[in-house]
Amino acid sequence: MTAALTAVSAKLAPVLDLDARLALAGAVMDERIALAHLAVDINTAHLPAADPLPEITAPPHIVPQPVPCPYSTPVATVLWRARQRLQEYGWLRGQLRDEQGAACAAGHIRAVAHGRAQYEDALAVLLDVIRRDFGVDGIPAWNDAQTSARPVIVAFERAADLAHTRQQ
């Protein structure tokens, strides 16, 4: 007799369309959410001033302070600032600069120098360092021959030290 009832009940089960199934699933989920909300209220009722959703605040925006220049001479300062700028904006080879601020060695010096004389003096000191340390006789060719920014950064550091030593 049970087999007959099962067969009859299987034939009488209504076929639900997608909207009806979604409505039933929504009702079940609403019931689960209501029970979960009630459980949170019960579990935190004994806590004084319990707030189930604490206010979330963003951490304060920290603006990095610029590193003070260790040099007091103008050309050494330009070379040091060019090195800082290179590390911030990036290094290029094959062109003077791009739209994002990256530049070659001479482009970074040009960006931070105050006037043509200071630019040319800084380039002359950098050229002295490149000739001495790398045996190359031109800044553009030397810049384009590098495979990373590290040798350019080192050359800027050495040039700044040399300019400071020369009181430039």
CA distance 119 to 99: 21
Instruction: Band the pLDDT of 57: cuts 50, 70, 90.
Output: confident
With 80 as the cut, is the pLDDT of residue 130 above it?
yes
Of 72, 74, 110, 76, nearest to 92 by C-alpha is 110
> What secondary structure letter does DSSP report for 58?
P
- SS3 for 59-100 is CCCCCCCCCCCCCCCHHHHHHHHHHHHHHHHCECCCCCECCC
Residue 116 inside a domain? The answer is yes
Instruction: Band the pLDDT of 8: cuts 50, 70, 90.
Output: low
Residue 79 inside a domain? The answer is yes
Same domain, yes or no: 79 and 150: yes
Same domain, yes or no: 154 and 92: yes
Q: Which domain holds residue 103?
A: 74-165
pTM: 0.61
CA atoms within 13 A on the CB side of 101: 9
Q: How many domains does the chain have?
A: 2
> Do 157 and 83 form a contact (C-beta atoms < 8 A)?
yes
